[in-house]
A = this chain, B = another copy of it.
């Protein structure tokens, strides 16, 4: 099986209390691809400029990512730079240069239109909807979004959500979109907007999985060293969707395990800058963390 991801590929400049990286490989679709590649074949649809280092494409190829949908167009690659303070909770954005990403209008190939598992990374909800409409007969469509779209294009986002099965969202965004302070009421409200599953990401506090029938509460992997939180949410979605895409099974049991694999991949992501940690992760390490999650929650 495989999973299709449409989103951004970027060059990130990030500073945290533990170091700094300049023009490192970043972007929502890229982080997703790196994480998902440990579970499934990933098909990446994104755009980069002529300045995008070929070694980053080589890395994705080495992870068996299908980069046929990674368009290279004249101009500069999307660049983001951010700074994390001591508590590492949220990045202060120092600069965003959209560059070639500004005119990103994803056109899927025939092969990509046949995808069963689709992840719409955080881009304009109108573009996300346009992508869904290009897919012939998807089994699962998942979507991530952010404050910016919730505030600037709520109607477009809600139209798109009607076509989505799984919504990935963080706590603050969930409250904002549902206009409800109580998290559990907010999740109920989001389930009413279309998705049959809502995955609430809570960073170091873990994640919650909501369906009409029930709820699952997942811890975060206990990390003694966090170097750079950038990409954690997309790595989470990557582990989640990568695992899901191996079988056409939406049972609660499988979705719960997907949350755990998502949490595991997010935990690797933040241990180093950019996608660096994905270069060394082994399947054994993933299984070790899975067992650790078991030990952590049993009573």
Which chain A residues have a beta carbon within 8 Å of chain B's beta carbons?
Answer: 86-88, 181-185, 202, 204-206, 214-219, 222-226, 253, 256-257, 259-260, 293-299
Contact = CB atoms under 8 A, between A and B. Distances in A.
B183 A299 contact: no
A297 B298 CA distance: 8
Majority SS of interface residues in chain A? Answer: mixed
A218 B217 CA distance: 9
B222 A215 contact: yes
A52 to B, nearest CB: 35
A148 to B, nearest CB: 22
Contacts of A204: 183
Contact of A214 (B87, B253, B295): B295
Contacts of A215: 222, 296
A216 B299 contact: yes
A181 to B, nearest CB: 6
A87 B181 contact: yes
Contact of A259 (B184, B223, B299): B299
A181, A217, A223, A259: residue with the most chain B Cβ atoms closer than 10 Å? A217
Contacts of A214: 295
A170 to B, nearest CB: 14
A184 B253 contact: no
Given A217-B219, A219-B217, A86 B299 contact: no
A299 B184 contact: no
A173 B224 CA distance: 18
Contact of A224 (B87, B182, B225, B257): B182
Contacts of A87: 181
Given A202-B205, A205-B202, A205-B205, A296 B217 contact: yes
A88 B204 CA distance: 20
B205 A299 contact: no
10 contacts: A87-B181, A88-B181, A182-B223, A215-B222, A216-B299, A217-B296, A218-B299, A256-B299, A259-B299, A294-B299
Given A87-B181, A181-B86, A183-B204, A299 B224 contact: no
Nearest to A293: B299
A223 B204 CA distance: 21
A294 B215 CA distance: 11
Nearest to A255: B299
Nearest to A224: B184
Contacts of A298: 256
B296 A216 contact: yes
A202 B220 CA distance: 14
Nearest to A218: B299
A204 B226 CA distance: 23
